[in-house]
Amino acid sequence: MDLSEIFKIILIVLLIGCAVAVNLTPSLLQAVIIFMSYSSVMCLLWILMESPDLAITEAAVGAGVSGLLFLVTLKKIRREDENAEPGETGPAEGKGSRR
């Protein structure tokens, strides 16, 4: 078993760890950051599987833009910290309601 196989196994174990950790962390901010690291580990795995197209896209989209959009959403609903006061987030009832 050569070095690249061992490296792959370590990365896969890290991947599973990240996936489980995203579910188990209490704070949403931590979960988003672990999700971004999950994407980065996936990017490395794509390179090891000889698909550089996928690696570039995964890095740009997964670790980059989609993690960023999650953070912007957290800021918008003001829930970075699970213990913090959530902002007023009622559904807007207006033109669409016929009841």
Contact footprint for other proteins (CB under 8 A): 49, 51-53, 55-57, 60-61, 64-65, 68-69, 72-73, 76, 82-83, 86, 88-99
Phi–psi pair at 35, nearest 5 degrees = -65, -40
Q: What is the DSSP string of the chain?
A: --HHHHHHHHHHHHHHHHHHHHHH-S-HHHHHHHHHHHHHHHHHHHHHTT-HHHHHHIIIIIIIIIHHHHHHHHHHHT-SSTTSPPP--PPP-STT---
